[in-house]
Amino acid sequence: MNETFELQAKIIKINGILLCILIVGSFIFFEEPLSFVYGLIFGGLIGILNFIQLAKTMEKAVRMNPAGAQAYASINYFIRFAIMAVVLIVSLKADYINALATVIGLLSIKFIILVTNLFNDKEYYKNIFKRKEV
């Protein structure tokens, strides 16, 4: 059932490393880093949980009929959307959590997905600019 486990583990691991770097960086660059660190941890963890939930949704959706899969994926997206709304409201309301750090934490996993998959093969970019007729 868990077809994407390896992919999830890889992305979550890299996201964890990025979060650790950001946390260490915030300890170095901010005078009072705790609220920023709490925001990063809070946002980062929810981002990871959202990604796992998305993976579960997609694994289930591919086994449905196309129309059912569309509805199922959209409904699950709005559930995750509501969860993110709650997380952002909590971080905006609570003084001890930096809202900007929470947003960075939430979006960090998307950044990792883009970067790890876009820049892992130089040959691909070389081929784009290679003249085909030669």
Q: Which residues of this chain interact with other proteins, rule CB under 8 A?
A: 3-4, 7-8, 50-51, 54-55, 57-59, 61-74, 77-78, 80-81, 84-85, 88-89, 92-93, 99, 103, 106-107, 109-110, 113-114, 117-118, 120-121, 124
Q: Minimum Å distance from CB 28 to other proteins? A: 26
Of 27 and 81, which CB lies nearer to other proteins in the complex structure? 81
Residue 32 CB partners (closer than 8 Å, separation 6+): none
CA dihedral in degrees (67, 70, 74, 77; nearest 10)?
140
Q: Please give the Cα distance from 31 to 14 (Å, whole number).
A: 27
Residue closer to other proteins, measured from CB, 41 or 61 = 61
Task: Identify the burial level of 2 via C-beta atoms within 10 angstroms of its C-beta, where 0-12 means exposed, 13-18 middle and 19 or more buried.
Answer: exposed
Q: How far is the CB of 14 from other proteins (least distance, A)?
A: 13
